[in-house]
């Protein structure tokens, strides 16, 4: 059966609006592009806004690379009130007036989370327990024990503290829940806390200032015009070392053959043909042998 849409390759750096799920965003942009194949690089909460890299065609082969990337966030945190979801979409479960809290105490509490920490995932999350997602259990009023996860807070700072709310900026490893980080900072200070806003500003080396919003894409009018906003498929693997092959090496590589090139690089690399076209990714072993990993059909 023929697939709907056109064979479109590339990455859309999408600025997701509030209230839209990651999958919903992907389907909308896929339709605007009239693209056959689509995928995203990790979900963003419906409440959250900001950078959501969407992959189309050959770029979907490399979407997993950004699942493991560090991510940057900017959140607005309210102290003195917590909710069952950890953000403003939930029901209030605890309140306590914030009295006499100084910026210095707040900064010290936030900075105490720098580095490797253990974080307990929230009940309102997409993680699964015995085959069922935690948020479905939470909606039924059930709570199950969750094992702590080791995550890394690379950078953290607070701004615009008004005595009750503040802006939290952080760069974190994969799997970090900003809702939980905000709640834990509150606990360190002796106050309940929750998020009132969340924006993702960075995924790996990609930044939200390069992202395109939904209304801007819709205003372009045609799939061809929307495709003009795509970045190349190798956007997702731009940090990997680049290897360029000769015509003969290109043919052998695309046939899945290992190439004894005596390369100095080690580990994963991105590979290009003699004409500068991306061929895929490969692994370079101890002896400098190039072994195909994920190939793009040409």
291 Cβ contact partners less than 8 Å away, ≥ 6 residues apart = 258, 282, 283, 284, 285
SS3 category, 25? helix
147 Cβ contact partners less than 8 Å away, ≥ 6 residues apart = 120
Taking CA atoms, 1 is separated from 4, 97, in Å, by 9, 62
Q: What is the 3-state secondary structure (H, E, C) of 97-114?
A: CCCCCCHHHHHHHHHCCC
Report helix angle 178-189 to 103-111, nearest 10: 130
84 is a catalytic site residue: no
Q: Pull the structure tokens for residue 192.
A: 């309940």
DSSP letters spanning 201-225: EEETTEEGGG-EEHHHHHHH-SHHH
* Residue 83: DSSP 8-state: E
Residue of 15, 45, 84, 184 marked active site: 45
139-178 CB burial, b ≥16 within 10 A, e <16: eeeeeeeeeebebebeebebeebeeebbebbbbbbebbbb
Q: Rounded to the nearest 10 degrees, how much is the dihedral formed by the CA atoms of 50, 195, 67, 245? A: 40
Residue 287 dihedral angles phi and psi, to the nearest 5°: -95, 10
Residues 207 and 51 sit within 8 Å (Cβ to Cβ): yes
Report the catalytic residues. 45
């Amino acid at each position: 059966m023929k697939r709907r849409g056109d064979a479109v390759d590339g990455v859309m750096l999408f600025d997701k609006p509030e209230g839209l799920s990651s999958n919903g965003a992907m389907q909308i942009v896929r339709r605007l592009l009239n693209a056959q194949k689509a995928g995203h690089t990790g979900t963003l909460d419906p409440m959250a806004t900001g950078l959501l890299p969407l992959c189309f065609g050959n770029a979907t082969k490399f979407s997993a690379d950004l699942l493991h990337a560090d991510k940057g966030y900017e959140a607005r945190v309210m102290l003195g009130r917590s909710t069952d979801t950890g953000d403003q979409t939930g029901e209030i479960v605890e309140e306590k007036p914030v009295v006499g809290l100084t910026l210095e105490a707040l900064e010290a509490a936030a900075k105490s989370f720098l580095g490797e920490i253990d974080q307990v995932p929230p009940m309102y999350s997409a993680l699964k327990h015995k085959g069922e997602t935690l948020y479905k259990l939470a909606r039924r009023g059930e709570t199950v024990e969750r094992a702590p996860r080791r995550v890394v807070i690379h950078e953290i700072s607070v701004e615009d503290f008004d005595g009750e709310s503040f802006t939290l900026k952080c760069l974190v490893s994969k799997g970090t829940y900003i809702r939980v980080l905000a709640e834990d900072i509150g606990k360190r200070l002796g106050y309940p806390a929750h998020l009132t806003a969340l924006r993702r500003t960075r995924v790996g080396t990609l930044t939200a200032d390069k992202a395109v919003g939904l209304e801007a894409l819709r205003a372009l009018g045609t799939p061809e015009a929307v495709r003009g906003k795509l970045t190349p498929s190798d956007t997702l693997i731009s940090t990997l070392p680049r290897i360029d092959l000769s015509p003969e090496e290109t043919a052998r590589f695309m046939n899945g053959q290992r190439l004894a090139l005596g390369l100095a690089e080690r580990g994963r690399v991105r590979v290009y043909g003699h004409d500068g076209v991306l061929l895929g990714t490969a692994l370079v072993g101890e002896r400098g042998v190039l072994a195909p990993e994920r190939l793009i059909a040409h």
